[in-house]
Chains A and B, each alone.
Chain A
């Protein structure tokens, strides 16, 4: 700062300017800007990964002073189906896979459908868009409690419609195996559809009308226009939506916890729900960390794709 002030009163020659800027042009300056972030990055991003791996290789007990090295024992346990850990872990992995396989296509298709409905101008367009996006701003626990009540075994809105308007028997959604997924999946679609819809709407807005005008001249109807123009041009967005939706579905936690508490009989217990149970209810931190590394390895496929998408953006503008 002082350098700047002194510079303005000295003669503006190259010789006078160079020493004035010297403090600023010091080779360490860029690193000083990055330093605060770097410290937090090292402590809370890099270190926990290494520390986690260390914990998973030791028998980590909060009540004990020593943490004996056990090598890959906790990883091996996960492949020994006689241990409850292995049974519960792979059950939870299977549940997470079921949820992901069902919910991802649903979340992409419904969001694209809504975006196509809203793409062309229509009366009340802003209102409809706000309505579909609105549930997404609710926090997961609010959404979970709401859908638990919607699908209440006896008197929720769904069963009220089922018994009083359709004249059927109440369906105990929350306590019936397999059917317990319905409240979780319906709630998740309702909750997250707006995000993907917004991404698709933005992408649809970027498609040049000239493609459709050319197709009109050739007499193309709605389906070929969608199949051969819209869908291929949406491919980059679909990839992005797919990756982020898969990652979000893998991380299923709040909905399972609040709507069904992982039940009935652990049939809706997600991987993260079980890992946290093992860590925070059973205090088996090493075992839980080993599981989170196993689970993280599967997720890595998709976080890597996410990274590739962002890296492409970074290179594109650099």
Chain B
């Protein structure tokens, strides 16, 4: 043990030393470039925050204040108590809709992906290819007919319109089927011998083993619902039922050039996603990296 360990230790050290000597100037400039790019990428965020903290007069005054001379929270106070719409209400609406949608979508996709991945029955492959093939339908084609259906269902200005139409998304079935197929058959067979029925196999074996895939799908579903813009923009117009992205645009139409208030509203709207991103970053990046990447 000792000798191979010693060899294994010395080899990387020698290599890193060599690499360090060779790459130091290169890495330094790479680091500088990354810092410059980071400043450029963060500049809009900085501009948003300092604008939100300036009194409206200072926002439009020239020369530009690169840092707020008289910082104030007035913009935030006015946005939060605005008579033109309750931004916290919109945030709650978005959260509620996205949560219900995510739970139902993941459940529905798991129930569908399970027999497609783990059972043999006539028409299985045909059903799978029909579902996968539906991804070829450009959603713009269904936008207007679905809107007309919402009119008929009397779902305009209802959360039903924000939850149900997107629930049968093919991508979720695809993602979970791929994951379920990759699970070893032995555990399932053992459970079968112990007398478990197919549903017990699903929720006692398949689902617990699939937590990473389920979380990835849930993160995608939640983000998709939370960020959905064009559909809620047309299907919900009642000011109390707006979702956050749409609500914020009503502010942008009302406070056209009152950028202090506008930036306070966009800052408030950004806080939950930025916090969520810090927690879900791992799943988001892992999920992104596994979609459509295989050769």
Chain A residues within 8 Å of B, Cβ to Cβ: 1, 3-4, 7-8, 20-21, 23-24, 27, 29-31, 33-34, 36-38, 40-41, 44-49, 51-52, 55, 60, 62, 114, 117-118, 120, 122-124, 127-128, 130-135, 137-142, 144-150, 152, 155, 157, 160, 163-164, 190, 195, 198-199, 201-203, 236-237, 240, 244, 251, 253-254, 257-258, 272, 275-276, 279-280, 285, 288-289, 292-293, 295-296, 299-300, 303-304, 306-307, 309-314, 316-318
Contact = CB atoms under 8 A, between A and B. Distances in A.
B263 A149 contact: yes
8 closest A-B pairs by CB: A202-B289, A30-B115, A52-B145, A40-B168, A48-B142, A299-B138, A37-B112, A160-B64
A280 B140 CA distance: 14
B186 interface: no
23 contacts: A4-B195, A4-B196, A27-B121, A40-B167, A51-B148, A52-B144, A117-B37, A120-B27, A131-B38, A139-B244, A139-B245, A145-B266, A155-B64, A163-B62, A164-B64, A202-B285, A236-B294, A275-B140, A285-B148, A289-B144, A296-B140, A310-B135, A314-B174
A295 B140 contact: yes
Interface of B: 27, 30-31, 33-34, 37-38, 41-45, 47-48, 51, 59-60, 62-64, 108-109, 111-112, 114-116, 119, 121, 124, 127-129, 131-149, 151, 164-168, 170, 173-174, 177-178, 181-182, 195-198, 200, 223, 226-227, 229-230, 234, 244-246, 248-249, 252, 259, 262-263, 266, 269-270, 273-274, 276-277, 281, 285, 288-289, 292-295
A279 B146 CA distance: 12
Given A138-B270, A140-B227, A142-B245, A285 B144 contact: yes
A4 B144 CA distance: 49
B195 A202 contact: no
Contact of A134 (B63, B129, B277): B277
A45 B142 contact: yes
A139 B145 contact: no
Nearest to A157: B47
Contacts of B165: 44
Contacts of B181: 317-318
Contacts of A7: 195
Contact of A52 (B131, B141, B295): B141
Contacts of B259: 149, 152
Contacts of A275: 140, 143-144
Nearest to A126: B281
Given A24-B197, A303-B136, A142 B269 contact: yes
B293 A240 contact: yes
Contacts of A21: 197
A45 B136 CA distance: 11
Contacts, number: 284
A37 B111 contact: yes
A36 B111 contact: yes
Contacts of A51: 145, 148-149
Contacts of A292: 140-141, 143-144
A27 B111 CA distance: 16
Given A149-B259, A307-B132, A155 B60 contact: yes
B138 A295 contact: yes
A132 B151 CA distance: 41
Contacts of B59: 155
Given A202-B289, A258-B249, A117 B229 contact: no
Given A48-B141, A306-B292, 5 more contacts: A37-B112, A46-B134, A52-B141, A130-B281, A275-B144
A247 to B, nearest CB: 8
A316 B37 contact: no
A144 B227 CA distance: 13
A292 B133 CA distance: 19
Contacts of B226: 139
Nearest to B192: A21
A36 B108 contact: yes
A123 B28 CA distance: 10
A145 B38 CA distance: 21
B184 to A, nearest CB: 14
A140 B223 CA distance: 12
B230 A20 contact: no
Contacts of B262: 145, 149
Contact of A276 (B133, B230, B249): B230
A49 B230 CA distance: 18
Contacts of A130: 281
A72 to B, nearest CB: 17
A132 B119 CA distance: 43
Given A8-B195, A142-B266, A253-B229, A49 B294 contact: no
